[in-house]
Amino acid sequence: MARASCVLASNVTTAIRILTATDLHQLRVLYDGLQKAVERHKPQIVALVGDAIDANLDQYCDLPKAECARRLANLPCEEVVFVRGNHESEGWLPFAESWRTTGRPLHALNGEAFVHGPLVIVGFPCALGDEIWYLHGRESVPLETERWFPQILRRFGPASRTLWLMHEPPKGTWLSSDSGIMSVGAWREAIERYSPWLTVSGHDHSTPHRHNL
């Protein structure tokens, strides 16, 4: 559910502590676990790698979307960053509205870069679900990374290959069952071409269990 990792950006001597979490699905036990992980590891950045909320009705979840937003916005860290999962569809609207009442910036990446000091985080788009509410008026980006990542690379240089967040795992790796919608071939192609230091993904709930993660 949550993973703490330190990322040392190139050409600097200061480590930036990042905690990643994915597929919280509005479940209280997972939100509680994330809160404890943040308090324990004290990251500067918390990155939510998709499906922080759930596309189903709130009656199937422990927490309403508005409370999910408030809890994440109140985490004791400097920044919270999102990438879209397949469950961030129309439910993103009440989530985002509640988030904005907290006064905290909403960093909802979609083929975009987030910069924190020397660190550049690239948030990939999601191949599944309806993105219109998540984009909030922004333009959609294609799955083909060659149509949007080179601009990021030109702007930020090697730092843009430090940390990539992608909800679906890259196809044909042990991170995914490699069955149908569980993975994306374009992500693997981009990784093989640009060799990022670290990628983090979620979506596939079964493979981590098979690998005892």
pLDDT of residue 213: 58
Q: Is 180 helix (H, G, I), strand (E, B) or coil?
A: helix
| CA–centroid distance for 178 within its chain | 20
Asked if residue 98 belongs to a domain, the reply is: yes
Asked if residue 47 belongs to a domain, the reply is: yes
CA atoms within 13 A on the CB side of 30: 20
pLDDT of residue 15: 87
Q: Domain with 124 in it: what CATH number?
A: 3.60.21.10
Paired residues of 122 in beta bridges = 113, 164
Asked if residue 54 belongs to a domain, the reply is: yes
Asked if residue 115 belongs to a domain, the reply is: yes
Q: Domain containing 49: what range?
A: 2-208
Distance CA 181, CA 183 (A): 6
Contact 61, 54 (CB under 8 A): yes
How many folded domains does the chain comprise? 1
| CA–centroid distance for 46 within its chain | 9
* Token pair in block for residue 202: 């979620």
pLDDT of residue 131: 93
Sheet with 198-200: strands ordered across = 112-116, 119-123, 163-165, 198-200
Positions of the chain with pLDDT under 50? 1-12, 178, 180
Contact 86, 129 (CB under 8 A): yes
Name every residue whose Cβ is closer than 8 Å to that of residue 19 and which is 6 or more positions away in sequence: 2, 3, 4, 5, 37, 38, 41, 43, 45, 46, 47, 77
pLDDT of residue 170: 86
Residue with tokens 């009656």: 59
Asked if residue 27 belongs to a domain, the reply is: yes
Asked if residue 213 belongs to a domain, the reply is: no
Asked if residue 201 belongs to a domain, the reply is: yes
The tens digit of pLDDT for each residue in 41-82 reads 999 999 999 999 998 766 678 899 999 999 999 999 999 999
